[in-house]
């Protein structure tokens, strides 16, 4: 646990978890990977003498909602989330169906892709005050209706709107659902003042601009790589292979789902910008740079 302000703490780990305390009550910002995260959170609550008022899920990915089930079963903790994200939280199988584009292969039926379902008790607006001293900000791009949280101490929890250098180095290509929104969100966050910035996957920092620039540069690099790969008519599979070769990635079922979905999002974005065209030839969808 690291204290970032009078009422704001972060439990640093694979997924950073926020604690915002007011008069002995605590609002949690995400719940981590699994029931072990829930146990750690419960232990901290007991040590501090805090009552858990609610869990705010920034979005519905398994590594952000994995502790919900434990906290609901043991503490009857309410869960709050935005519309759209709440459907995935209550029915995590929607995420693998969304990523795979159909009934997923069994290799995706694990806690990373399918957290245990949990009940959402309050639907949040994507912008504005949630509770006194705690405000939501829309961070669309990585996922559909993702939000960040800004506490009264000026600490900004950024969810997955950008990623730390270690994550970018390890995985190469971050998951992005809406490329245009992802870029706009990073540009907005880059100019937003805060005492501390807390990416969900990366170190706490007092200056987000270098990391924002790094993420934006990577998006631009991926765009240019995809346009180059589509100089001649190329199928999705050929483009995916070329991109993974460029970033020295070896795919498994999980990475195929995540990176494949991201590549489709980039292709859609570039098509919307009139930079790519597609045509169907002998029942193959082929992409070509304009």
The sheet carrying 196-199 orders its strands as: 128-131, 134-138, 147-151, 155-159, 196-199
Which domains are delineated in the chain? 2-217 (3.60.15.10), 220-289 (1.10.10.10)
Output the pLDDT for position 171.
83
Given the DSSP bridges, would you call strands 25-29 and 51-56 parallel, antiparallel or unpaired? parallel
Question: 3-class SS at 21?
Answer: strand
* Interacting residues of 186 by C-beta distance below 8 A, sequence separation 6+: 141, 161, 162, 212, 215, 216
Output the pLDDT for position 175.
96
Query: Running along the chain, 290 residues long, what does each successive block of 10 average in pLDDT?
Result: 97 96 94 96 96 98 97 97 97 96 96 95 97 97 97 98 90 94 97 97 96 96 97 96 94 96 98 97 97
Q: Which residue has the tokens 């489709």?
A: 264
Output the pLDDT for position 261.
97
Give the long-range contacts of residues 101-104, CB within 8 A, separation 24 or more: 104/257
């Amino acid at each position: 646990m690291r204290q970032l302000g009078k009422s704001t703490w972060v439990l640093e780990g694979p997924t950073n978890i926020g604690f915002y305390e007011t008069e002995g009550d605590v609002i949690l910002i995400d719940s981590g990977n699994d029931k072990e995260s829930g146990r750690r959170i419960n232990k901290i609550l007991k040590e501090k003498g805090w009552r858990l008022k609610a869990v705010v899920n920034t979005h519905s990915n398994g590594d952000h909602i994995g502790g919900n089930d434990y906290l609901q079963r043991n503490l009857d903790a309410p869960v709050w989330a935005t519309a759209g994200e709440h459907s995935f939280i209550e029915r995590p199988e929607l995420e693998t169906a969304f990523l795979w584009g159909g009934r997923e292969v069994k290799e995706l039926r694990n806690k990373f892709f399918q957290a245990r379902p949990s009940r959402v008790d309050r639907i949040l607006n994507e912008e504005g005050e949630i509770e006194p001293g705690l405000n939501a900000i829309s961070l669309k791009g990585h996922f559909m209706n993702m939000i960040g949280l800004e506490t009264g101490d000026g600490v900004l929890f950024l969810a997955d709107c950008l990623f730390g250098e270690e994550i970018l180095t390890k995985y190469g290509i971050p998951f992005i659902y809406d490329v245009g929104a992802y870029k706009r969100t990073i540009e907005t966050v880059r100019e937003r003042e805060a005492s501390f910035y807390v990416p969900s996957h990366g170190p706490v920092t007092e200056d987000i601009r270098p990391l924002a620039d790094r993420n934006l540069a990577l998006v631009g690099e991926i765009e240019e790589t995809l346009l180059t790969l589509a100089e001649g008519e190329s199928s999705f599979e050929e483009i995916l292979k070329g991109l993974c070769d460029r970033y020295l990635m070896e795919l498994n079922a999980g990475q195929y789902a995540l990176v494949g979905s991201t590549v489709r999002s980039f292709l859609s974005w570039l098509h919307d910008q009139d930079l790519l065209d597609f045509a169907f030839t002998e029942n193959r969808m082929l992409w070509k740079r304009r």
